[in-house]
């Protein structure tokens, strides 16, 4: 039995949706273990486009069980809306193929409003949040006042929990001269949707234990990327959860010894959404070409992504932090028309060379990339499914990248289509 964790090795948007969907053909269970509806996956299956925000990518495959773990924060109205959207596209979502941890925390309307208030008042210090209420919800979770799925089972318990969380939020809102939230109105809204959520609620740690005993293959699906990890990312321009693969264990109730292989999804160049340092960003024609060819717009927010050369230093660093065994290289075909392609192989800061990203935010903004150049292959790679069919210059770029980051390229994606993938190493069969 093999259990695989899939994470993004950059700032997210690496193409995890397609790879998770592709891998889920072999998995029995797909588990989302952190994040919320701020991170989307786009799947293209038989020309049909699925844009998922909370639902795990495995939901589009028949015979698979999809799970939202305790580490996920859930906007209940957004989830129910997404379920209805995907049902209209012919996908079944039932308690038999979809489960939610009863311990997962709920994103409520005041979380979203607080997110917006903070971002609007931040001025030049904006983080670039998606304004979905993710951060404030995680704050309440850590502050031990969040409303969880299980709290919807009891009216009296829900009332008590709402009193606790609103005591905190309404005090903040009064100080900000914002309208306070009424407990009874919010309780009524939650009780109205409770049955639609509770039918999916399970003790996920127990279900996963049962699946392990049945020798089921489990695929753990991360959201965003390691460089947005609250501990290991470009803090404070990060998300509010841990995005590293170790979170697959804590965010699902599964022991770390159950993880067999960690796959890092890695784009053949680099992108970032929102604010924060970006050493290899290209604010020029090449950056525009990458954005246009790569269709670099957010699945959830439609925000334009910043684009730049592949940062080998950062990916090497996330590989070491995360214990990544191999990478799935995506969007290689986006580079097809470039005469010259560069990889960042080091940094310069105040006249000194560095081989890692410094932790200080000021330093991260001031470092200069050191590049190694490669000739472009100037021919089409889109749709290629065998590595031997790749142009020699493309293979040289891949091998140089692989050698520098210190991890094997286990697969290469050459288009958004599920089948346009070059398989070199199957994580489930190692």
SS3 for 154?
coil
CB 416 within 8 A of CB 44: yes
Catalytic, 46? Answer no
CB 39 within 8 A of CB 300: yes
Task: Report how far Cα 357 is from the mean position of its chain's Cα atoms.
Answer: 21
Residue 322 and residue 266: Cα distance in Å, rounded?
13
Could you give the residue ranges of the DSSP H alpha helices within 129-271? 134-142, 155-175, 183-198, 204-213, 247-250
What is the DSSP code string of 284-344?
Answer: SHHHHHHHHHTT-B-TTT-PBPEEE-EEHHHHHHHHHHHT--EEEEE-GGGGTT-SEEEEE
Residue 31 contacts by C-beta under 8 Å, 6 or more apart in sequence? 56, 66, 67, 69, 204, 208, 218, 219, 220, 221, 248, 252, 254
CB 251 within 8 A of CB 71: yes
- The count of other CB atoms within 10 Å of the CB of residue 58 is 27
Return the ∠ at Cα 239 (arms to 238 and 245), rounded to 5°.
100
Catalytic residue among 37, 41, 169, 232: 41
**Distance separating the N- and C-terminal Cα atoms of the chain:** 10
Catalytic, 13? Answer yes
CB 206 within 8 A of CB 194: no
Report, as residue numbers or ranges, the catalytic residues.
13, 41
């Amino acid at each position: 039995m093999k259990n695989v964790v899939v994470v993004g090795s950059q700032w997210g948007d690496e193409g995890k949706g397609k790879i998770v969907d592709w891998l889920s053909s072999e998995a029995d269970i797909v588990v989302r273990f952190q994040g919320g509806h701020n991170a989307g996956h786009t799947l293209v299956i038989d020309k049909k486009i699925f844009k998922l925000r909370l639902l795990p990518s495995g939901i589009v495959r028949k015979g698979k069980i999809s799970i939202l773990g305790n580490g996920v924060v859930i906007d209940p109205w957004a989830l129910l809306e997404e379920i209805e959207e995907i049902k209209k596209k012919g996908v079944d979502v039932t308690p038999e193929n979809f489960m939610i941890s009863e311990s997962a925390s709920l994103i409520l309307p005041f979380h979203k409003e607080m997110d917006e208030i903070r971002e609007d008042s931040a001025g030049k210090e904006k983080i670039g949040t998606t304004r979905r209420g993710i951060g404030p919800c995680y704050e309440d979770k850590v502050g031990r006042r969040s409303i969880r799925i299980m709290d919807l089972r009891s009216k009296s318990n829900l009332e008590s929990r709402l009193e606790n969380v609103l005591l905190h939020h309404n005090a903040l809102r009064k100080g900000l001269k914002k309208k306070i939230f009424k407990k009874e109105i919010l309780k009524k809204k939650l009780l109205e949707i409770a049955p639609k959520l509770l039918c999916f609620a399970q003790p996920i740690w127990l279900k996963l234990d049962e699946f392990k005993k049945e020798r089921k293959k489990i695929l753990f699906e991360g959201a965003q990327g390691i460089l947005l990890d609250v501990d290991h990312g470009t803090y404070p321009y990060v998300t509010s959860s841990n995005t590293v693969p170790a979170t697959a264990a804590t965010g699902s109730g599964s022991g770390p010894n159950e993880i067999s292989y960690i796959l890092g999804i890695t784009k053949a160049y680099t992108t970032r959404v929102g604010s924060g340092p970006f050493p290899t960003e290209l604010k020029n024609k090449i950056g525009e070409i990458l954005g246009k060819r790569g269709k670099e717009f957010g699945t959830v927010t439609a925000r334009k992504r910043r684009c730049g050369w592949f940062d080998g230093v950062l990916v090497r660093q996330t590989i070491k932090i995360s214990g990544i065994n191999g990478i799935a290289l995506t969007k290689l075909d986006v580079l097809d028309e470039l005469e010259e392609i560069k990889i960042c192989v080091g940094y310069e800061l105040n006249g000194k060379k560095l081989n890692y990203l410094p932790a200080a935010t000021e330093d991260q903004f001031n470092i200069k990339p050191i590049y190694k150049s490669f000739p472009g292959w100037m021919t089409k790679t889109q749709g290629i499914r065998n590595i031997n069919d790749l142009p020699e210059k493309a293979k040289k770029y891949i091998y140089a990248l692989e050698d520098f980051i210190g991890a094997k390229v286990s697969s290469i994606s050459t288009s958004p289509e599920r089948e346009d993938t070059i398989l070199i190493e199957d994580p489930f069969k190692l």
